[in-house]
């Protein structure tokens, strides 16, 4: 499994971080988790084969996780020759089909009928679905918005957990327990803490409960630039921690 952080930023404009997006490659699966503003062009910057995605999974409906979805579909139809013909499966929490309908109304881009076969599936907030080749996607609720979920991707050898947006939550940490990579949002410093997001210290407490093999912080707002995030996390968690950049690649050797 190869995990590429495409966008390590959040809602605030940043010179170096676009909004949320993670590419997960496992066997024939090329899954994009979230598609915030800048993610599509960042794939081009990084030389990622944006035309070859097989699956998309949305964690929730905030714009910084969703707003490049239309950009991606327009690129597939008008940004390449020939236009995309390969099928795609799009997952999201309950309410996803309504969001896609509203995007269709706003942009005249119905992603479920856009010239190639798209299967749009609302996953239960606690669900598991096979992606093919022994790769599975699982969802778990997180208390960020009413629909928000985290995702787990397993290839039979390794397990990646992507938090999406979340505050501290013991049930989510327990669900993530023992994963190989825990990609946790890390939004704001303690001095600006809000109830719907994590601080570095909160990340440390989550990791201390989940005990991932590797902990990776993403979804940074500008006030955290320059902060000693690993040092703050280490007040609670002594395991390996890194702060993602756009383009951070995590290779988990195994089935590939
Ligand atoms: Zn966000
Ligand atoms: Zn959010």
198 domain residue, yes or no: yes
Do the Cβ atoms of 48 and 28 come closer than 8 Å?
Answer: no
Q: What is the pLDDT of residue 253?
A: 81
Ligand 2 center to 165 CA (angstroms): 5
256 domain residue, yes or no: no
Range of the domain at 153: 2-251
Ligand 1 center to 162 CA (angstroms): 12
171 domain residue, yes or no: yes
> Could you say which of 34, 64, 68, 165 is catalytic?
64
Helices (H), the chain: 39-45, 69-78, 96-107, 170-175, 200-210, 229-233
Do the Cβ atoms of 188 and 194 come closer than 8 Å?
Answer: yes
pLDDT at 191 over 90: yes
pLDDT at 255 over 50: no
What are the tokens at 36? 């915030």
> What digits encode the pLDDT tens for the residues 38-89?
999 999 999 999 999 999 999 999 999 999 999 999 999 999 999 999 999 9
Ligand closest in space to the Cα of 11: 1
Ligand 2 center to 144 CA (angstroms): 7
Q: What is the pLDDT of residue 256?
A: 46
CATH number for the domain that contains residue 6? 3.60.15.10
User: Is 64 one of the catalytic residues?
Assistant: yes
197 domain residue, yes or no: yes
Q: Which residues of 244-253 are buried (b: 16+ CB within 10 A; e: fewer)?
A: bebbbebebe
Ligand closest in space to the Cα of 62: 2
Ligand closest in space to the Cα of 60: 2
Ligand 2 center to 65 CA (angstroms): 7
Closest by CA to 21, choosing from 73, 67, 76, is: 67
pLDDT at 200 over 80: yes
- What's the average model confidence in pLDDT over 136-147? 98
Number of C-alpha atoms within 13 angstroms, CB side, residue 179?
28
Q: How many domains does the chain have?
A: 1
> What digits encode the pLDDT tens for the residues 114-140?
999 999 999 999 999 999 999 999 999
CA distance 58 to 8: 16
């Amino acid at each position: 499994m190869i995990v590429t952080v495409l966008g390590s930023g959040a809602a605030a404009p940043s010179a170096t971080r676009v909004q949320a997006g993670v590419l997960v490659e496992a066997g024939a699966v090329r899954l994009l988790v979230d598609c915030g503003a800048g993610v599509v062009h960042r794939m081009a910057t990084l030389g990622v084969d944006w035309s070859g995605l097989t699956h998309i999974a949305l964690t929730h409906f905030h714009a910084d996780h969703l707003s490049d979805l239309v950009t991606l579909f327009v690129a597939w139809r008008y940004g390449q020759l020939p236009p995309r013909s390969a099928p795609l499966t799009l997952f999201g929490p309950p309410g996803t089909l309504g969001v896609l309908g509203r995007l269709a109304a706003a942009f005249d881009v119905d992603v479920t009928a856009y010239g190639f076969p798209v299967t749009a599936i609302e996953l239960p907030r606690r669900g598991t679905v096979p992606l093919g080749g022994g790769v599975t996607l699982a969802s778990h609720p997180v208390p960020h918005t009413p629909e928000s979920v985290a995702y787990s991707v397993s290839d039979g050898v390794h397990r990646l957990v992507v938090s999406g947006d979340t505050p501290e939550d013991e049930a989510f940490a327990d669900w993530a327990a023992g994963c190989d990579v825990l990609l946790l949002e890390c939004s704001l410093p303690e001095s600006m803490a809000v109830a719907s997001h994590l601080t570095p210290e909160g990340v440390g407490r989550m990791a201390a409960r989940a005990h991932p093999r590797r902990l990776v912080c993403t979804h940074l707002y500008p006030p955290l630039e320059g902060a000693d995030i690993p040092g703050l996390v280490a007040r609670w968690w002594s395991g390996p921690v890194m702060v993602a950049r756009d383009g951070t690649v995590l290779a988990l050797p195994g089935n590939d």
